[in-house]
Amino acid sequence: MTSLAVPATLQAASKPAAAAPPVFGPRIIIGLVGVLLAVLVSGLNEMVTKVALADIRGALAIGYDEGTWLVASYTATSVAAMAFAPWCSVTFSLRRFTLCAIALFTLLGVLSPLAPNYESLLLMRTLQGLAGGALPPMLMTVALRFLPANVKLYGLAGYALTATFGPGLGTPLAGLWTEYVSWRWTFWQIIAPSLLAMVAVAYGLPQDPLRLERLKQFNWRGLLLGFPAICMLVIGLLQGNRLDWFESALICWLLGGGALLLVLFMFNEWSQPVPFFKLQMLGIRNLSFALLTLAGVLVVLLAVIIIPSGYLAQVQGYRPIQTAPVMLLMAGPQLIALPLVAALCNVRWVDCRWVLGIGLSMLALSCIGGSQLTSVWIRDDFYALQLLQIFGQPMAVLPLLMLATGSISPVEGPYASAWFNTVKGLAAVVATGVLDALTTARLHFHSTMLVDRLGNSPLADSDTPGLAHRLHQQAVVLTSSDLYLCMAGVALALILLIFWLPTRVYPPRAPT
C-alpha cells in the first residue's frame, strides 16, 4: 500500500521549501483527538437539532416548513464546505484554518438560540453549517499527514467514527436536552467540547507557514460554479418530498439548475491545472469503488437509525429519550469495535475486501431481521438487530477508507480527501431524500390497500373507535418492513461489486 503522508497539500500549485516533518508523539495525538472531537461535535450538532426540531419549533413558535429550511440550509453549506475546505487549509495553514472554523462554529452555536427572529436564526445556521462542514476534511488530512504508517489505519478508524459512532448519539442527546434541561442546549451542547478541541488543536498541531501566493492561482470559476451547484442539489433533495418533488417549480429549478451547474463545474475541473476535484482520479478502480460503496453504505447506516426511531415514535408513541437505548447500544461499542477492526485490517495476510464483505453481510442480515417487525414490537425487540450493527458498521466503513487511500500517490492525497468527504456528505443527503420518498410512497400504497381491503370486508365497521389510527399504525409497520428489505437489497448489491471492482491492497506497514 502506498504511504499517504500528505505534506503541504496540492504541491502542484506551488513548490515551497521542504519542511522537516513533525515528530510523531503525544502532541500530535492530542492534536488529532482535538480535530476528531470537533468533527464529532459538528455532526452531533446537526443530528441533535434535527431530532429535537419539533421542540425547537415549539419554543420559537415557528411552523414545520420554516423548521425544514433550518435543516436544509445548514446541511447545504456544510456539504459545500467539504469540497473547498482542503484548498483553504493549505493556503491559510491547517492549524490556523481549523482553529478559525471551530471558533466560528462555536460562536454561532452560542448565538443561535438567542436569535431575535427566524431570519437571523436561519442566517446563523447557514453560516454555522459552513464552519462545521469545513472540519471533516481536516480530520482525514491530519490522520494521513502526521500519523506514521503502522498506525495510520487507527487514524482512519477515528475518521470512521464520524459515520458510525456520531450519528447514533443524536437521538439520546436530543432526548436528554429536551426532556431534562432546555431546548437551548440542543445548540449549546457544543460549547465545552468545542473549546476543549480548540485547546487540543492549538497545542498539538504544528503551525505551517501561510501560502497566500496560492490566491493568485485560485480557481474562482470552480468556486462560483461548484458551491451553488452543491447547495442547490442538497436543498432540492431535502425539500423535495415536502414539496412533492417535480410537481414543484422550486424543486425543478433547484435540482435542474444544480445539476447543470455541477456539469459545468466538472468540465471546469477537468481542465484546471489546480482543481478542487481531480476527475482523472476516478480512473483508479479502488477509489471509484470506495466512493460508490460508501454512498450505498451510508444509505444503509442512516436507514438503521431512521427506521426504528420512526417506528417507535409513530406506532409505540416513544419520545427520543425512550428510543435512546436502542441507538446507544449501536453507537457506544463503536469506540471498541473500530480499533479492533483497524487492528484486523492492519494484519498483512487479512484481505480488507473480505472484511468489507463480512461487514456488509452483517448489515444485510440485520435489515432482513428488521423486516420481520410487527405492530407489537417494542424497544427491546430491536436490540438483537443492533448487536449485528456493532461490528457490521465498522467492518463496512474502515475497509473503504483503506481501499480509497491505498492506491494513490502522496501528491493526490488532498484530492482523495476532497472526493471522499464530499461524496460522504452528498450521500447522506441523497439517503435522506431517498428514504423520505420511499417512506411516503410505501405509506400511501399500504394505506390505500388496507382501506380497500377493509371496505371490501363484510364485517368491516367504519365506526369502530380508533380504526383510522390502527390503520395508520399498520401502514407504518408494513412501510418499515419494506424499507428494511430495500436496505438489505442495497447491502447485498454492494457485496456483489466486491467480486469484480476492487483490487487487493495491503496495510502501510503490517505489525510484526
**Confidence at 15, pLDDT banded by 50, 70, 90:** very low
Flag whether pLDDT at 454 surpasses 80. no
Indicate if 487 and 411 belong to the same structural domain: yes
Helix (H, G, I), strand (E, B) or coil at 15: coil
155-183 per-position pLDDT tens digit? 888 888 888 787 778 878 888 888 888 88
Domain count along the chain: 3
Amino acid occupying residue 221: R
Note down the domain range covering 268.
221-273
Flag whether pLDDT at 461 surpasses 60. no
Indicate if 450 and 377 belong to the same structural domain: yes
Q: How far apart are CA 335 and CA 164, in angstroms?
A: 10
Q: Determine the pLDDT at residue 1.
A: 38
Query: Are the beta carbons of 365 and 476 closer than 8 angstroms?
Result: no
* Domain end among 239, 255, 273: 273
Q: How far apart are CA 448 and CA 441, in angstroms?
A: 11
Residue pointed to by grid coordinates 496495510: 507
Indicate if 162 and 266 belong to the same structural domain: no
Query: Are the beta carbons of 443 and 241 closer than 8 angstroms?
Result: no
Q: How far apart are CA 295 and CA 289, in angstroms?
A: 10
Position 12 in a domain:
no
Does the pTM of the predicted model rise above 0.95? no
Indicate if 227 and 256 belong to the same structural domain: yes
Position 2 in a domain:
no
CATH number at residue 127: 1.20.1250.20
Q: What is the mean pLDDT of residues 94-119?
A: 93
User: What distances in angstroms separate CA 380 from CA 329, 350, 383, 451, one per listed residue?
Assistant: 11, 35, 6, 30
Q: What is the mean pLDDT of residues 427-446?
A: 89
Amino acid occupying residue 27: R
Query: Are the beta carbons of 66 and 229 closer than 8 angstroms?
Result: no
Indicate if 261 and 291 belong to the same structural domain: no
Q: Determine the pLDDT at residue 462.
A: 53
* Domain end among 158, 182, 207: 207
Which of these, 308, 283, 460, lies nearest to 370 by C-alpha position? 308
Indicate if 200 and 82 belong to the same structural domain: yes
Q: Determine the pLDDT at residue 12.
A: 39
Query: Are the beta carbons of 460 and 471 closer than 8 angstroms?
Result: no
Indicate if 194 and 226 belong to the same structural domain: no
Please indicate whether residue 455 or residue 427 has the higher confidence score (pLDDT). Answer: 427
Give the gyration radius of the chain's Cα atoms. Answer: 23
297-336 per-position pLDDT tens digit? 999 998 988 899 889 988 888 888 888 888 888 888 888 9
Indicate if 247 and 180 belong to the same structural domain: no
Q: How far apart are CA 444 and CA 428, in angstroms?
A: 24
Q: What is the mean pLDDT of residues 201-213?
A: 87
* Lowest model confidence (mean pLDDT) among 74-88, 100-114, 269-283: 269-283
Indicate if 28 and 152 belong to the same structural domain: yes
Which of these, 203, 193, 257, 190, lies nearest to 225 by C-alpha position? 257
Q: How far apart are CA 425 and CA 198, in angstroms?
A: 24
* Distant-in-sequence, close-in-space partners of 272: CB < 8 Å, separation ≥ 6: 219, 222
Please indicate whether residue 190 or residue 507 has the higher confidence score (pLDDT). Answer: 190
235-265 per-position pLDDT tens digit? 999 999 889 898 999 999 999 999 999 999 9
Indicate if 117 and 227 belong to the same structural domain: no
Position 249 in a domain:
yes
**Confidence at 410, pLDDT banded by 50, 70, 90:** low
Flag whether pLDDT at 464 surpasses 80. no
Position 14 in a domain:
no
Indicate if 335 and 440 belong to the same structural domain: yes
Please indicate whether residue 167 or residue 230 has the higher confidence score (pLDDT). Answer: 230
Q: What are phi and psi of 284, to 5 degrees?
A: -80, 115
Query: Are the beta carbons of 145 and 411 closer than 8 angstroms?
Result: no
**Confidence at 405, pLDDT banded by 50, 70, 90:** confident
**Which DSSP letter does residue 207 get?**
-
* Distant-in-sequence, close-in-space partners of 13: CB < 8 Å, separation ≥ 6: 90, 214, 217, 274
Position 213 in a domain:
no
Position 11 in a domain:
no
Q: Determine the pLDDT at residue 122.
A: 94
Tell me the DSSP string of 440-491: HHHHHHHHHHHHHHHHH-TT--TTSTTHHHHHHHHHHHHHHHHHHHHHHHHH
Indicate if 247 and 177 belong to the same structural domain: no
